[in-house]
A and B are shown apart, each in its own frame.
Chain A
Amino acid sequence: MRISPDEIVFFEYGFVKINFTIVTTWALMLFMVIGSFVITRKLVIETKISRWQSILEMILIGIKGQIEEVGLHKSKSYIGFLGTLFLFLFISNLLAVLPVYEPPTSSLSTTAALAVSVFFAVPVFNIMEHGILNYLKSYVKPIPIMLPFHIISEFSRTLALAVRLFGNMMSGVIILGILITITPLVFPIVMTAFGLLTGSVQSYIFTILASVFIAAAANEGEKDIGS
């Protein structure tokens, strides 16, 4: 039984493999960029705006609000990373209703890649915010002996993030596949609906957790500066 869309390989040349995950990711990227371009091409700053612009603005303002709620006050600095993360996960999971399509997030490679991105984003944002010295100092706080525990914490957090999303998305796809073989009618539709729900929730959770990690590190840095 196929667990990951990585197993569908279209092209292979040595280490390089163009599989279904990469292809769907490219398609998604293309879809999102073209969609963004089309919508933002006719942006107006008047008080009366188009429906699409209104929807996009609502989504962005929502993301911005969520980012600010978790404690990241300079939301504009983080919205590029966190907004892209959320939109990619959300659209990726939402399109699971399409036949043939398998979300890239059901591949551990993708979720791990996103988790590692978050893993690197946390120190990058922290350093950008407070400087490298303060960031490094946070690893030996409150006592230097805590350094290994901080490092373990960082890795385990990243791993948990990756596996959580992968597990949810992959399980949804697998359960759907199993159900289609057992009861091909009606029940898969319900499960697909559930899949949409869990996909949306997971994309939200993933983004919020990434925000919380970044915010926690940023606030830790602020506290250090304060102390």
Chain B
Amino acid sequence: MLFDWFTFVAQIINFFILIWLLKRYLFKPILNAIDERESLIAQKLRDAEESKVNVKKEYEQYQQKNSEFDQHRDDLLNLAITDINSEKVKLRDQTRSEIASLRTKLKEALHNEQLNMGTEIIRRTRSEVFSVVRKTLGDLASANLEEQITHVFIKQINELNSDERELLQAALNGSADEIVVRSVFDLPIIQQDNIKNTIQLNFNILPIIKFETSSQIIGGIELITNGYKVSWNIEDYLALLEANITERLNQNIEIMI
């Protein structure tokens, strides 16, 4: 039998029952689950989008802050560089000034030292030389030496140039006091006479001469009258030696500075 009415009706009923059951136990729960998941995913996507927007906003804020920070840092850096440069210039100027001051002080110190040293050298040299000369002259001092000194002194008077001669003449003429002749040792009478005669011959006066001895004179004779002095003295040579030494020392100090 190809077709059965009861089966036909039963199958229709079965089918509708199946529709109801599947709707209840299959389609509805699954479709609901799908819808819920879709809404969940949509919500998550919305949240993600929102987060993305927030992140982008925060990123932009961060970028802005970063650029501001960079700008601020650059400004500070430039300021610091400017300060450093000005400070450097200031310190350099200060250092130069201090160096100049120190150099000046050093120069002064060296100069003082030079002076002291020169003075000391001169003093010592003089002392030594004087000591030696004194000793030598002391050893050599004799009538013959005195005679030679007198002879040189007389020669000096005779060889005075016209200006000096005039000055001495004026001094001798205007002198109310006696003429003083100083020497280390007492001059013998003959030499005293020779000096008197030389003055008389050269200046046409009769001199009253007072002969004195002086330990200050190392070796030599000096004539003093009315503030004018004619002398021949070893001291003059020593003064020349002192001048030469001082000049040499000055040259050495300038080279050092």
Contact = CB atoms under 8 A, between A and B. Distances in A.
Contacts of B22: 32-33, 36, 80, 83-84, 87
A110 interface: yes
Given A109-B4, A109-B8, A22 B14 contact: yes
Given A17-B6, A110-B11, A80 B29 contact: no
Contacts of A104: 11
Interface stretch (A52-60, A127-135, A143-151): A52-60
A44 B36 CA distance: 10
A40 interface: yes
A57 B27 contact: no
Given A45-B36, A79-B27, A113 B6 contact: no
B8 A44 contact: no
Interface residues of A, number: 49
A25 interface: yes
Contact of A33 (B7, B25, B30): B25
Contacts of A81: 19
Nearest to A83: B27
Interface string A102-123: 0010011110111011000000
User: Most chain-A Cβ atoms within 10 A of its Cβ — which of B9, B18, B37?
Assistant: B18
Given A36-B22, A84-B22, A114-B11, A56 B30 contact: yes
Interface string A30-69: 0011001101100111110100010011001100000000
Interface in A1-35: 3-4, 6-7, 15-17, 19, 21-22, 25-26, 29, 32-33
A45 B33 contact: yes
Nearest to A104: B11
B29 A45 contact: no
Given A60-B34, A80-B23, A85-B15, 10 more contacts: A7-B1, A25-B11, A29-B14, A37-B25, A43-B33, A45-B33, A47-B37, A79-B31, A88-B18, A116-B12
Interface of A: 3-4, 6-7, 15-17, 19, 21-22, 25-26, 29, 32-33, 36-37, 39-40, 43-47, 49, 53, 56-57, 60-61, 76, 79-81, 83-85, 87-88, 104, 107-110, 112-114, 116-117
Interface of B: 1-12, 14-19, 21-23, 25-27, 29-31, 33-34, 36-37, 40-41
